Amino acid sequence: MNHIAGIDLGTTNSEICCIRDGRPEIIEIEGEMMMPSCVGIDHDGNLIVGRSAKNQMVVNPGATILSIKRSMGKNVSVQLGEKQFSPEEISSFILGGLKKHAEKYLGEKITQAVITVPAYFDDSQRKATKNAGILAGLDVKRIINEPTSAALAYDAGKGENKNILVYDLGGGTFDVSMVVIENGIVEVKASHGDTQLGGDDFDKLLMDYVSEQFKEENGVDLLKDPHSRNRLWSIVEKAKRQLSDKPFVRIREEYISEDKHLDIEISRDDYQEMIRPLVRKTIDCVHKCLKEACFLPKAVDKVILVGGATRTPLVSEMLEEEMRLAPHYEINPDLIVAMGAAIQGEIIAGRETESVLVDITPYTFGTAAVSNYEGEMREDVFIPIIKRNSSLPISKGEVFYTMVDNQESVDVRIYQGEEPLVENNIFIGNFLVKGLNSVPAGNEIILELGLDLNGILEVTAREKSTGLSKTVTMTTDNPETAFDLERAHENISQFTELVQHLEEDLSPKETEKKMLISEAEKLHKRGEAILDDIDEADAGEIHNLIEQGKEAIIKGDTEKLSDSNESLSDLLFYLED
What are the DSSP calls for 482-550, one per residue?
A: ---HHHHHHHHHHHHGGGGGGSPPPPHHHHHHHHHHHHHHHHHHHHHHTGGGS-HHHHHHHHHHHHHHH
Active site residue 168: yes
- Give the single-character DSSP code of 380: E
Residue 572 CA to its chain's centroid (Å): 23
Strand-pairing partners, residue 140, are 113
- Give the single-character DSSP code of 327: P
Active site residue 563: no
Closest CA to 411 of 354, 368, 364: 368
What architecture is the 4-157+335-349 domain classified under in CATH? 2-Layer Sandwich (3.30)
Segment holding 116, helix H or strand E:
strand 112-117
The residue annotated as part of the active site, out of 15, 88, 89, 168, is 168
- Give the single-character DSSP code of 387: P
Question: For the residues of 29-93, what is the DSSP string, one character each?
Answer: BTTBS-EE--EEE-TTS-EEETHHHHHTTTT-GGGEE--GGGGTTSS--EEETTEEE-HHHHHHH
The reply to whether 365-481 shares the fold of 4-157+335-349 is no
Active site residue 109: no
The residue annotated as part of the active site, out of 15, 88, 89, 146, is 146
Statement: the pTM of the whole predicted model exceeds 0.85: no
The CATH label, of 1.10.287.70, 2.60.34.10, 3.30.565.10, 2.40.50.90, for the domain at 365-481 is: 2.60.34.10
Taking only the tens of pLDDT, the chain with its 577 residues reads 678 999 999 999 999 999 988 889 999 998 899 999 999 998 888 899 999 999 888 778 788 999 899 899 899 999 988 889 999 999 999 999 999 999 999 999 999 999 999 887 877 898 999 999 999 999 999 998 888 898 888 875 566 788 999 999 988 889 899 988 887 777 888 888 887 888 989 999 999 999 999 999 999 999 998 889 988 998 999 999 999 999 999 999 988 988 899 999 999 999 999 999 999 999 999 999 999 899 999 999 999 999 989 999 999 999 999 999 999 888 899 999 999 999 999 888 888 776 555 567 878 999 999 999 988 899 999 999 998 878 788 999 999 999 999 999 999 999 999 999 999 998 988 999 999 999 999 999 999 999 887 678 899 999 999 999 999 888 765 555 444 546 655 654 545 444 444 344 445 566 677 778 888 888 888 888 888 788 888 888 888 888 888 888 877 788 888 888 888 887 887 777 5
**Distances in Å between the alpha carbon of 498 and those of 307, 486, 490, 492, 495?**
56, 19, 14, 11, 5
What radius of gyration do the chain's Cα atoms show? 26
| Helices and strands, number each (H, E), in the chain | 13, 25
Question: For the residues of 229-251, what is the DSSP string, one character each?
Answer: HHHHHHHHHHHHHHTTT-SEEEE
Active site residue 8: yes
**Distances in Å between the alpha carbon of 353 and those of 8, 19, 142, 408?**
19, 8, 18, 57
* For residue 393, cis peptide bond before it (omega within 30 degrees of 0): yes
What sign does the CA torsion over 284, 285, 289, 290 have? negative
The whole-angstrom separation of Cα 433 and Cα 462 is: 9
The residue annotated as part of the active site, out of 69, 240, 387, 513, is 69
Query: What residues does each domain of the chain span?
Result: 4-157+335-349, 365-481, 503-575
